[in-house]
Amino acid sequence: MKVQSKLLILLFATITCVGCDQVSKHFAKSILQYTGPQSFFSDLLRFHYAENPGVAFSLGAQLPSNIRMALFVVGTSLCLALLLVYIVRADNRNRLHLLALSLIFAGGTGNLIDRIFRDGRVIDFLNLGIGDFRTAIFNIADMAISFGMVLLIVTSFWASETSNKEITGTPT
């Protein structure tokens, strides 16, 4: 796949994801921070404003501020830079594989923007569940990362199945 095509897919995913993520976080902060949690669809979906200084499930939230910044801002920036180089230079299996990597990059960028401009914290506001069985509070960027990971796993299996058929000579 040409570099221009890769960059176009990456740019589209990043602008779309980061745009939706930042706009939704702005509304969450300006509305939910003052109104409190809101429940919809028989409490299946909750909007609940939270600022997370850690990562998933608040891991690392208790670390000293300078260590959190080093891990979650500098570390994330380095990982995203490496992912960007990989996306541009690697021979991606197909467009879905590239989209998966682009969604992971875009979600990471959305949360990194929060960490840089919100003193190391990420705004979360979505919660799903039934009764006491609930997810952690998350955001649009987290959804992009999760969907990207699932898509990456699926496309990785597709690619290995194709490679196995090519190696064994099994017709496709």
Q: What is the DSSP string of 8-51?
A: HHHHHHHHHHHHHHHHHHHHIIIIIHHH--EEETTTTEEEEEEE
Assess whether pLDDT exceeds 70 at residue 89.
yes
Contact, 112 vs 153, CB < 8 A? no
- Plot region of 124 (φ>0 → left; ψ -120 to 50 → alpha; else → beta): beta
Instruction: Flag the least confident range among 11-20, 83-92, 101-110, 137-146.
Output: 83-92
Burial class (CB in 10 A: 0-12, 13-18, 19+), 118: middle
Take residue 109 and report the two structure tokens written for it: 């960028």
pLDDT tens-place string over residues 117-142: 998 899 999 999 998 899 988 999 99
**Pick from 138, 122, 147: nearest CA to 13:** 147
pLDDT of residue 63: 85
- Which residue spans within the chain are E strands per DSSP? 38-40, 45-52, 122-130, 133-134
In this prediction, residues 4-30 reach a mean pLDDT of: 94
Longest alpha-carbon distance in the chain: 63
Predicted pLDDT at 84? 95
Give mean pLDDT, residues 16-27.
96
Give me the pLDDT at residue 159, please: 52
pLDDT, average across residues 100-116: 96
Average pLDDT over residues 9-37: 93
What is the pTM for the complete model shown?
Answer: 0.85
* Sheet with 38-40: strands ordered across: 38-40, 45-52, 122-130, 133-134
Q: What is the mean pLDDT of the chain?
A: 87
Domain that holds residue 51: 3-168
Token pair of 137 as six digits: 């509070």
Task: Give the chain's domain count.
Answer: 1
pLDDT of residue 93 exceeding 90, the answer is: no
Is pLDDT above 70 for 161? no
pLDDT of residue 17: 97
Higher pLDDT, 123 or 163: 123
**Which positions are catalytic?**
124, 142
Q: What is the pLDDT of residue 2?
A: 84
How many other C-beta atoms are found inside a 10 Å radius of the C-beta of residue 75? 12
